[in-house]
Chain A
Amino acid sequence: KQEVTQIPAALSVPEGENLVLNCSFTDSAIYNLQWFRQDPGKGLTSLLLIQSSQREQTSGRLNASLDKSSGRSTLYIAASQPGDSATYLCAVNTNAGKSTFGDGTTLTVKP
């Protein structure tokens, strides 16, 4: 059974700081890993998708890496802004149509 863990559960940083969010998973036989952000009371917005054959993906100030052998992924956010404040979740897809989510990291960026 796939288990996904995200550390830390919460993180508070001053504006402008670079930061890293972590995601670990127990079963390395994955199709892909997807990072999302969720604002309070809203649905999830897809940030980055890394296929199992890829090592990293980049979008603007975001960079996600994947190390299947160690069961880890990181989401790097450069030059953080108050608008980045949200909960960030990672989802591991080990079966077409079913993803396992971590509990998320709640990020607060202080002006």
Chain B
Amino acid sequence: AQSVAQPEDQVNVAEGNPLTVKCTYSVSGNPYLFWYVQYPNRGLQFLLKYITGDNLVKGSYGFEAEFNKSQTSFHLKKPSALVSDSALYFCAVRDPGDSWGKLQFGAGTQVVVTP
């Protein structure tokens, strides 16, 4: 069975500084990995995904993520954080053997960007 771990409950960063949100995964075979963001009382919004190809994936709002197979990680990064990036971030994995495309989500990491 697949799983995903987000080791940090919260990440605090000052505006303008680099932001990293960590994610590690466990899945048999090649993983399909996703990042979503959730603002208060809203649904999740897609940021980016890794399916195959280049290990560095660029997504929405200036975010990128690096797939590292040897470390089974898919950390989310942004070079310069904005106050508006404050939100709850979820890493998710899809088992390639899954029939219906359902995602397994991590517990989430709260990002707080201070002015």
Are A and B co-members of a single complex? Answer: no
